[in-house]
Chain A
Amino acid sequence: MMPMTAIVALAALTYAFRFAGPLLRGRVTVPAAAERLFADAATVLLIALAATAALTAGHGFAGWARPAGVLVAGVLAARRAPFPVVVLAAAAVTALLRLAGVP
C-alpha cells in the first residue's frame, strides 16, 4: 500500500533535490566524484530493480514468461531499438508464452 503521506514525502524530497541546485549555484560545487557516485547509485538501483521485478514475485520465482519477455526487451534495448518496440516486445513475448501455457 502507498499512503498519501508517502507520496507527499517523496514529492517533497524530490522537490528539495530539484530546488537545491539553483539555490546552491555559485556557493558550492558538487565534486565530480560525488556526481558520478549519485549517477552510479541510480544505475545500480535501476538494474537491481529491473532484475528483481523480472525474476521474483513476492519472495519466490516469478515463472519463466516474465523474465523471457524482459530478456528480449533487454537485448533489443542494448541494440538501441526504439523505445516503443522494446516495451511492446516485452509484453508480447510474455503474453505469447503464457498463452502457450508457460507460467
Chain B
Amino acid sequence: MRTLWRTSRAAWPRDAALLRDVGLVGLADGIVGLSFGAAAVAGGLPWWVPVALSVLVFAGGSQIAAVGVVLAGGSPVAAVAAGAVLNTRLLPYGLAVADVVTSDDADRAGPGAGAARRGAGTGAAVRRWLVRVIGTHLITDEAVAFALRQDSRPGRRMAFWTCGIALFVIWNASVLLGVGIGSALHDTNAFGLDSTFPAVMLALVLPTLTSRSIKVAAGTGAVIAVALTPVLPAGLPLLAALGGLGTRWTGWRALLRRPGGGEQPRADAVDGTANDDELTVGGRR
C-alpha cells in the first residue's frame, strides 16, 4: 500500500495534466448543464425538476432525454423509460471501474479519502460502505474514460475520484445557473435556446457513429421517430426508434448498399471493432 501511495505522489506532473483535462471536460459539461437548465425551465418545467434530476440522476444524456420527452408532451412513464434505456450503459461502466469504486484497501490514494476519513472512527466497514455509495453515484462516461486511461490502480482511483467529484460540483452548479438564466429570459426562443438541446445531443453522439451499421441503425431510428411524431402520443416515437436496431441483424440493410459482393465482409469487420474508438469499457476485466 505504501508503494502505491509513493507511486501516485511521484506521478504528480501527470496529475497536473489530469487536472487540466478534467477542467476542459468540466467546461464542456458546464455548458451542457447551463443549456439543460435554461431550456428545461424555458420549456415550462418548474425550476426544481432539472435541479432534482441533476443531483439524483446525475447522467446528462438521460436527463436531457427525459426532459425532452416531457417537453414534447410525453408522459412521465415514457420519459423515465427513455432515460433508463440511455443509462443501461452504466452497467458495463460499473464493471470496468469496480476496483476503483469499491474501496477494499488504500483509501488514502484518492480525493475520496476526505469523505472516507470522516467515517474512520466508526470503523473501516462504514467507511468502505460510504465510499462505495458515493463512488457508485459518480460513475459517468467521463469519469470512467479518465480512469481507464490510467495504467495503475492508484492512478485509476485518482483519475476517477478527481473527475467524478469535479463533474458533480460543476454539473449541478451549471444547471442551477442555467435555471436562473432560463427563468430570467422572457422569450428564450428569440435567443435560439431551443436549438441548443438537439445540438448538445448531436455533439455528444456523433463521435460514436463510427461504423456503417450504427449509422444505418441511427438513421433508420431517426426517420421512424420523426415519421411517427404526428400520429403517436409524444414519447412513443422515440422508443419506436429502437426499431432501427433491427438493421443490425436482419441483413436487409444490405439492400441499401450498392451491389458489390466485396463490400460485405469489410463492413462487418468494421462492426466488430466499432467500439474501440469509445471507452473500450470492460477491457480491463
Q: Which residues of A contact B (CB under 8 A)?
A: 1-11, 13-15, 17-25, 29-30, 32, 35-60, 62, 65-67, 69-70, 73-74, 77-78, 82-84, 86-87, 89-96, 98-99
Bound-complex Cα distance A23 to B91 (A): 10
Residues of A with C-beta under 8 A to B82? 45, 49
Residue of A whose beta carbon sits closest to that of B56 = A11
Interface residue? B120 (CB, 8 A): no
The A interface, classified by DSSP as helix, strand, loop or mixed, is: helix
Tell me whether chain B's interface is mostly helix, strand or loop, or mixed: helix
Contacts of B204 in A (CB 8 A): 46
Q: Which residue of B lies closest to A11 (CB)?
A: B56
Q: Does B4 reach chain A (CB closer than 8 Å)? A: no
Given A14-B62, A17-B88, A38-B89, A53 contacting B197 (CB threshold 8 A): yes
Among residues of B, the one whose C-beta sits closest to the C-beta of A19 is B136
Count how many pairs of residues, one from A and one from B, have CB atoms less than 8 Å apart in the complex.
298
Contact of B59 among A14, A43, A74 (CB under 8 A): A14
B10 within 8 Å of A (CB atoms): no
Measured between beta carbons, the chain B residues less than 8 angstroms from A3 are 76
- Residue B177 CB within 8 A of the other chain: no
Contact B226 A21 (CB under 8 A): no
Given known A22-B98, A92-B192, contact A58–B199 (CB-CB < 8 A): no
Among the 9-residue stretches B12-20, B27-35, B109-117, B254-262, the one with 4 or more Cβ atoms under 8 Å from chain A is: B27-35
B96 neighbours in A (Cβ, 8 Å)? 21
Q: B226 touching A6 by the CB < 8 A rule?
A: no
Residues of A within 8 A of B35 (CB): 87
Complex alpha-carbon distance, A50 and B196, angstroms: 10
- CB contacts (< 8 Å) of A15 on chain B: these are 136-137
Could you give 8 example pairs across A and B, Cβ below 8 Å? A14-B62, A17-B84, A21-B93, A30-B282, A39-B208, A47-B221, A77-B199, A93-B192
B132 contacts chain A at the CB level, 8 A cutoff: yes
Is B91 in contact with A17, judged by CB distance below 8 angstroms? yes
Contacts A18-B136, A36-B275, A78-B206 known; A6 to B90 CB distance under 8 Å? no
**How many residues of B are in contact with the other chain, CB < 8 A?**
98
Q: What CA separation (Å) do A89 and B98 show in the bound complex?
A: 39
Q: Is the CB of B201 within 8 A of A46?
A: yes
A56 in contact with B226 given A19-B94, A21-B92 (CB within 8 Å): yes
Kindly list chain A residues whose C-beta atoms are within 8 Å of the C-beta of B32: 83, 87
CA distance A69 to B282 in the complex (A): 37
Contact among A10, A40, A78 for B214, CB-based, below 8 A: A40
| Bound Cα distance A38, B179 (Å) | 31
A84 to B67, CA, bound (A): 21
Whether A50 contacts B201 by the Cβ 8 Å rule is yes
Q: Chain B residues near A24: list those with CB within 8 A.
A: 95
- Decide if B132 touches A22 in the complex (CB within 8 Å): yes
Cβ–Cβ < 8 Å partners of B205 in chain A: 43, 46-47, 50
Q: How far is the CB of B51 from chain A (nearest CB, A)?
A: 10
Q: Does B167 contact A (CB under 8 A)?
A: no
